Amino acid sequence: MIDPAAFQEHLGTVFTVRHGDRSVPLELANVADRGVSNGMRQFSLFFHGPADPLLGDRIETLEHGTLGPLDLFIVPVIGSNTARAVYEACFSLPA
């Protein structure tokens, strides 16, 4: 089961996304645990990556040395600039 605590210990580590013929590194920058609301566990993962290429809103396979491959829907969010892109993956799971 996906749980925010499982990601906390991997803060600062790099996940890799294949984008065409390139590997794009995404650093896990924050795990925002929003707790339980209406019976649903809600949390978000925030990743920092290079500004180029900018990945779009879509499911990407993120590879991690310990966690293995994860298919996550990520979107670029506020905080992105010319130096870096910030991506968010949101989770809402039954508590």
Q: How confident is the model at residue 91 (pLDDT cuts 50, 70, 90)?
A: very high
Please tell me the predicted confidence (pLDDT) of residue 19: 87
**Digit-coded pLDDT (tens) for 74-90:** 999 988 898 999 999 99
**What does the radius of gyration of the chain's CA atoms come to, in whole angstroms?**
13
What fold is seen in the domain 4-94? Answer: Elongation Factor Tu (Ef-tu); domain 3 (2.40.30)
Q: What is the pLDDT of residue 20?
A: 85
- Write down the pLDDT at residue 1: 58
Whole-number mean pLDDT of the chain?
94
- The domain segmentation of the chain, as residue ranges, is 4-94
Distance CA 70, CA 79 (A): 23
Compute φ and ψ for 7, nearest 5 degrees: -90, -25
Give me the mean pLDDT over the 26-35 stretch.
96
Burial class (CB in 10 A: 0-12, 13-18, 19+), 45: buried
